[in-house]
Amino acid sequence: MIQVAVMGHGVVGSGVVEVLENHRDSIAKRAKEEINIKYILDIREFPDSPYAQKFTKNFEDILNDEEVRVVAEVMGGVNPAYDFTKRCLEAGKSVVTSNKELVATKGAELLEIARNNNVNYLFEASVGGGIPIIRPINQCLAANEFVEIAGILNGTTNFILTKMIKDNMSFEDALRMAQQLGYAERKPEADVEGHDACRKIAILASLCYGKHIYPELVHTQGITKITLDDVAYAGAWGGVIKLIGQVMKLDDGRVDISVEPMILSRESQLANVDDVFNGILVRGDATGDVVFYGKGAGKLPTASAVVADIIDCVRNLKTRKFVYWEDGDASLVRPYEESAFPVMIRAKAEDKAAALKKAEELFGNVKAVSRSDEKEGEFAFTTGDIAVTSADAAVAELEKAGVTVLSKIRISDL
* DSSP 8-state class, residue 247: E
Of the two residues 245 and 342, which places its CB atom closer to ligand HSE in the complex? 245
286 three-class SS: coil
* 27 contacts 311 by C-beta, under 8 angstroms: yes
Find the part of the chain contacting ligand HSE (CB under 6 A) among 151-159, 164-172, 234-242, 324-332. Answer: 151-159
CB 277, min distance to ligand HSE, A: 10
Among 88, 231, 297, 314, binds ligand HSE (CB under 6 A): 297
Q: Can residue 378 be called a binding residue for ligand HSE (CB under 6 A)?
A: no
Question: At 99, which amino acid appears?
Answer: N
Of the two residues 169 and 332, which places its CB atom closer to ligand HSE in the complex? 169
Q: Can residue 8 be called a binding residue for ligand HSE (CB under 6 A)?
A: no
CB 359, min distance to ligand HSE, A: 36
Of the two residues 156 and 412, which places its CB atom closer to ligand HSE in the complex? 156
Residue 173 CA to its chain's centroid (Å): 23
- In whole angstroms, give the CA distance from residue 303 to residue 306: 5
Find the part of the chain contacting ligand HSE (CB under 6 A) among 111-119, 149-157, 201-209, 247-255. Answer: 149-157
Among 13, 107, 296, 342, binds ligand HSE (CB under 6 A): 296
Of the two residues 99 and 382, which places its CB atom closer to ligand HSE in the complex? 99
* DSSP line for 338-361: G-EE-EEEEEE-SSHHHHHHHHHH
Of the two residues 183 and 341, which places its CB atom closer to ligand HSE in the complex? 183
Find the part of the chain contacting ligand HSE (CB under 6 A) among 138-146, 150-158, 305-313, 330-338. Answer: 150-158
Question: At 14, which amino acid appears?
Answer: S
The catalytic position among 54, 93, 100, 200 is 200
SS percent in the chain: helix, strand, coil, step 5: 40, 25, 35
CB 303, min distance to ligand HSE, A: 12
**For ligand HSE, how many residues bind (rule: CB under 6 A)?**
8
* 394 contacts 345 by C-beta, under 8 angstroms: no
Q: Does residue 253 come out as left (phi exceeding 0), alpha (psi in the -120 to 50 range) or beta?
A: left
CB 199, min distance to ligand HSE, A: 9
CB 155, min distance to ligand HSE, A: 4
CB 130, min distance to ligand HSE, A: 10
Q: Can residue 414 be called a binding residue for ligand HSE (CB under 6 A)?
A: no
* 163 contacts 286 by C-beta, under 8 angstroms: no
CB 72, min distance to ligand HSE, A: 16
Binding to ligand HSE, residues 101-140 (CB under 6 A): 129
DSSP E strand stretches across 44-189:
55-56, 68-73, 94-97, 121-122, 146-152
| Closest by Cα among 5, 3, 8 to 74 | 8
| Closest by Cα among 270, 279, 180, 175 to 222 | 175
Of the two residues 222 and 296, which places its CB atom closer to ligand HSE in the complex? 296
Nearest 10 degrees: Cα torsion 386, 392, 394, 399: 150
Of the two residues 7 and 113, which places its CB atom closer to ligand HSE in the complex? 7
* 331 contacts 254 by C-beta, under 8 angstroms: yes
- In whole angstroms, give the CA distance from residue 263 to residue 244: 9
106 catalytic per annotation? no
Binding to ligand HSE, residues 153-212 (CB under 6 A): 154-156, 191, 196
* DSSP 8-state class, residue 211: B
Query: Which spans of this chain sit near ligand HSE (rule: CB under 6 A)?
Result: 129, 154-156, 191, 196, 296-297
Q: Catalogue the active-site residues.
A: 200
